[in-house]
Every structure is written in structure tokens, then in C-alpha cells.
Amino acid sequence: MSSKLLEGVNVVELANFIAAPAAGRFMADLGANVIKIESAKGDALRHTAPSEGRPLDMYENTTWDLENANKRCISLNLKTEEGKKALHKIIAKADVLITNWRIKALERAGFDYKTLKEKYPKLVYGIVTGYGEFGPDKDLPGFDFTSFFARGGYLEALRQKGQKPMNVVPGLGDHNVGMNLAAGIVAALYHAKMTGKGEKVETSLFESAIYNMGMMVQAANYDLGARDFPIDVRQRPQPLLACWHTKDDRYIQTCMPDYNTYYKKFITTIGREDLAEDDRYFPIQNLQKNNLSTFIYDAIMTQFETKTSSEWKEILTAADIPFSVAQSWLEILEDKQAWANNSLYKMKYDNGNERTLVCLPVKFEEMGRPEYNKGPLIGENGVEILKDFGYSDEQINKMLEDKVLYVWKDENK
């Protein structure tokens, strides 16, 4: 394995939950020395297992590992001057600081960009917010359920007309935002290395959602189909972009963006050759002029319900039709394509359990596959980190006694 791409880069992560730590995880996988700063209570993400349907276990915490693998952790009481002093010593040698603290909290603690820029002009400062740094809602709390999915258009536009919004689960928006932040940080880091000048990199859950929805947000400029969402999928003007119910109660999603390119091949493949040459249904201009999109949708759905998902999978694959069976999470855990591309990893925990964990989706040929070291316990590396920055055993012990430094201990042991 060649040297890691960010080896020698020092990162301070003053962040919790998912979005900002996801950027830190990306950098840690690439070899950066990422030091996570926590309070004695720890990041609230350590305790979300019950809401995800997992057992609460500090030693086997799959969500924690997903966001915090390959990092080191120090727990400092930043309400004390000694705790702030220690953090400043760490930041002074850092190339990057990542945070998702709210702006007012950063300003009160003295870790806002303006303050740190004066002290550390080479520092790259990466921040995630809920709604952006400006505007009337800049100080609102933000999570991906609210800032990303709700405010960003997903829940309203993507629901079936007349139905409740889709269920969402944590991390979908956060991971997207974390990778956006990571891209900006790496660009700013390159600039800092070339010029000696730092930069502030910001993204938010809301801004990222707007970007993701960009095609349809822009289409809403026009008084045409985009303004009709949410829609009944049966009435969609392009019927080849739907999800089809099969005989075995599964769903198959097809994606044929250009109706005119795919229609004849697809309709023949599913056994409705009689519709292939009828100019009422082709090209799409005729289909829409004759208001027959719903007819074609119903015809296709009727065909799909005559065969199982396995049968359709074989037929559609042979015809080179773009499709996928809608998979459950359990099926993803066993997906051969995912395993072949190192999307999944078997982690052996100290309690003997082996669990499948998810890897980051960006890979590098020469660097090879990153190690997957479990995320640290609260303050687990605090003593060694302070020694790295010149603290003596006597100073460290006093910080522990004064509760400036905290190292978690299992009360059950």
C-alpha cells in the first residue's frame, strides 16, 4: 500500500452528530490525524441506538464507528480556561478545523472563524450549519429531517399525491452534506498549502438539499409539469420512470429518461408488442397530446404483476433495460455487488460479535483500502494527545483531578 493521501495533515473536529463528523471520517480514512473534541457527556450520537433499532452498547456501536472510525478523541471541559487553553494548543498545530456548533456558541467560546483566523491565518475552517450563515433562519437548530428533507423539498414533492410523506431515516442528508464539506475542505487545504493562507468553507443541510433538487427547482420556473408535484405517479407525463409491482409483491424501478429512445424496446420486452407501433403512444409528444400516459402506465403495471421479480430481473437484464429491484436493508447486507466494490466491511468487536459496517463511497487505486479502526470511546486518547502537545504527567493528572480532562471508564467493570 502506498502512503495515504492526507498523511501528515492535522485535523481538529469540534463537532457532533453526523454531517460534520462525516467529513472528518473521510479525512481520517485518507490518513489525516483527526482529533475529535468531546465533552464529558460525549457526542449525543453515541446514544442514538434505541431510535435506530440497535442495542445501546458503548463497545459495539455501529453508528458511532460509521461516523468516527480512524479518529482519536480527547474530552475537554471547554467551560474552563485550562480546557480552552489545551484546545488552542491543539488548533495551533492543525491544518483544518471542522465544526457544526451554532454560530453564537462558537462566538461565546471564542472558536468562531473571525477569532481563529487572526491567531491561525493558515487554518482551513470547515463549518456545517442547518440553514446557512445568513438570513432570518440562520440561528435555527437544524437536522436532516427538518433542514434537508422538509425545507429542501423532499417530503412535499416526492410523496404520492394524497398520501403522507415518505419515512426518512437519519444520515441520508447528513452524509451528503459531509461529503460536500469534505470536498470544499480539501480544495481549501490545497490552496493553504500553496499560498500559506487559510480559508473558511461552509455548507448547510438546506443548501445541499436545494442543490440536490436543482433540476426540479429550476424547472419550477416554468408553468409546466414541475409545478404539479406532488403527483399521482399514474398521471406522470412520462410513464417509464415508475416503480412496478410484481407478482411476488416486490417493486422494480425503471429509469428511461428519454421516452422516445426506450419506448418500443421496453414495451416489446414486457410482452406488449401490440403497443409498439401505435402512433397514439409514440413519440411522447403524441402520448401527451392524446392524454394516454395513464393508459400506458396501467398497461405496464398489469404486465409486471404477471411475473415475479426474479423473472423480470432476468428478462430486463437480457434486454439491457435500466432497472433495479427495490431492496431492503437486509438484502443490501448480502448484496454481492456491494461486497465486490468494498462498500461493506466485517468488523469483529471485542465481545466476539461480527457486524457488517458500511464504508465510505470514494475509493483510491494507489492508496488502497483504508483501515477500519473503531471509533474511540469518550476521551480515550486524551492522555496521549496531551503528551503529543508537550503536557507532562503532572499537568495531565491535575487536569484529570480538576475535571478539565475526562477519560470514560466503564462503571460495570
Per the annotation, the verdict on 249 as an active-site residue is no
d(CA 69, CA 58): 14
If residue 180 lies in a helix (H) or strand (E), which one and from where to where? Answer: helix 172-195
d(CA 403, CA 61): 26
Structural contact between residues 12 and 24, judged by C-beta atoms closer than 8 angstroms = no
pLDDT of residue 224: 80
pTM: 0.94
pLDDT in tens, 75-105: 999 999 999 999 999 999 999 999 999 999 9
d(CA 410, CA 191): 44
d(CA 284, CA 336): 37
d(CA 86, CA 139): 28
DSSP bridge partners of 202: 127
pLDDT of residue 2: 64
pLDDT of residue 90: 98
Report cis status (omega within 30 of 0) of the bond before 170: no
Report cis status (omega within 30 of 0) of the bond before 230: yes
pLDDT in tens, 312-357: 999 999 999 999 999 999 999 999 999 999 999 999 999 999 999 9
3-state secondary structure of 279: coil
d(CA 199, CA 192): 7
Work out the angle between the directed axes of helices 19-29 and 172-195 (0-180°, nearest 10): 50
Show the domains of the chain with their CATH numbers. Answer: 10-212+344-406 (3.40.50.10540), 251-325 (no CATH)
pLDDT of residue 287: 97
pLDDT of residue 204: 97
**Dihedral, CA atoms, 263, 267, 269, 274, nearest 10 degrees?**
-130
**Which cell is 144 given?**
436532516
Pairing mode, strands 199-204 and 124-129: parallel
pLDDT in tens, 168-212: 999 999 999 999 999 999 999 999 999 999 999 999 999 999 999
In percent, how much of the chain has pLDDT > 70? 100
In percent, how much of the chain has pLDDT > 90? 95
pLDDT in tens, 134-167: 999 999 999 999 999 999 999 999 999 999 999 9
Q: What is the mean pLDDT of the chain?
A: 96
Does pLDDT of 285 surpass 90?
yes
pLDDT of residue 412: 80
Alpha-helix residue ranges (DSSP H) falling in 290-325: 293-304, 309-318
- Select which of 137, 144, 174, 402 is catalytic: 174
